[in-house]
Amino acid sequence: MADTNPQDVPEVVVGVDGSSIALRAVAWAVAEARSRGVPLRIVHAAPYATDATTRGRARAILARAYTVAHRAEPGVTAHTHQLDRPPTPALTATGEHAALLVVGMIGERPDEVVIGSHALALAGTAPCPVAVVRGHHTWASGAAPVLVGVSGTGPDPAALDTAALDIAFADAQRHASPLIVLHAHRGRDPVESALRDALGPWRARYPDVPVDLIIDGRPPADALLHAAAAARLVILGNRRRGRTARAVLGSTSHALIRHSPCPVIVVNPDAATAHIRSAPADATTRSTS
């Protein structure tokens, strides 16, 4: 293991707490790091580690997570990092230099949430996209579509969730999978034609990504949860700007994080999406040990 890495290198960061769902998040995160061609940083917030026994527990949590990552993707460079702050501020700080921050969540009831107790807060405040890995599901294959929910329409591209669309199209291209763009709206015209026109720049930039546009008359959360049953990933934009405003997630994002059958990425509008542009998938060829 290693606990150092230049902070100007984009990474996928995953938070661990010793739980089984955190290890599932590690397995998902290291696969994502491989697909992006970037290193993986495994972090554990351990303000409790004040003596030899508790410091040993923190090291053991990181060592186990590192083993899971190395066995799953031995070609990905992995680093471990112990932080002495509480989980939410510690993980938020790591997001300043991350391409993606990954956390796990077990279930939809408050008493089932482990590291997921911080997932909702991180999804609202982290400066980078946040992936919440749900615990009770079987991840779909790369051939399954990525689903992105959009809430804006009209000729002005700023009306769309542009950051979420950037990430969704890039993800679909990396995984060679179809993309479903879903907008919850009663009626089809002229919204559908307006959305097709607004998606033009992304279609031109990603000509190899098959795109299916769905206009669904149900409430947004219901429409997205229905479509998520066949997806491998859901991507949502948090349209509130500024960290204070973003901290209160919209009802749709909250519902998807709590109930989605597959991982969910929440993208803040002022997230540093430039980190998404990563090296080819074979760029990381070793693991630190």
The CA distance from 149 to 58, in Å, is: 38
Q: Counting Cβ atoms within 10 Å, is residue 168 exposed (0-12), middle (13-18) or buried (19+)?
A: buried
Q: What is the pLDDT along the chain (289 residues), one digit of tens a residue?
A: 444 444 566 899 999 999 888 999 999 999 999 999 999 999 999 999 999 999 999 999 999 999 999 999 999 999 999 999 998 899 999 988 899 999 987 644 444 444 556 777 888 788 899 999 975 555 566 689 999 998 765 544 445 688 899 999 999 999 999 999 999 887 656 788 888 989 999 999 999 999 999 999 899 999 999 999 999 999 998 755 444 334 445 788 888 988 899 999 999 766 544 444 443 343 333 333 3
Residue 175 phi/psi, 5° resolution?
-95, 5
The CA distance from 18 to 64, in Å, is: 8
Task: Please name the amino acid found at residue 244.
Answer: T
Q: Are 59 and 82 in contact (CB under 8 A)?
A: yes
Instruction: For the chain, list the strands marked E by DSSP.
Output: 11-15, 40-45, 78-83, 98-105, 130-134, 146-149, 179-184, 211-216, 233-237, 264-267
pLDDT for the residue 249: 57
The CA distance from 169 to 263, in Å, is: 16
pTM: 0.84
* Contacts for 1 with CB less than 8 Å, ≥ 6 apart: 62, 63, 66, 78, 79, 80, 288, 289
pLDDT for the residue 253: 86
pLDDT for the residue 176: 93
pLDDT for the residue 111: 41
The CA distance from 176 to 221, in Å, is: 26
Q: Dihedral sign, CA of 200, 202, 208, 209?
A: negative
Q: Dihedral sign, CA of 224, 172, 189, 159?
A: positive
The CA distance from 191 to 141, in Å, is: 31
The CA distance from 31 to 35, in Å, is: 6
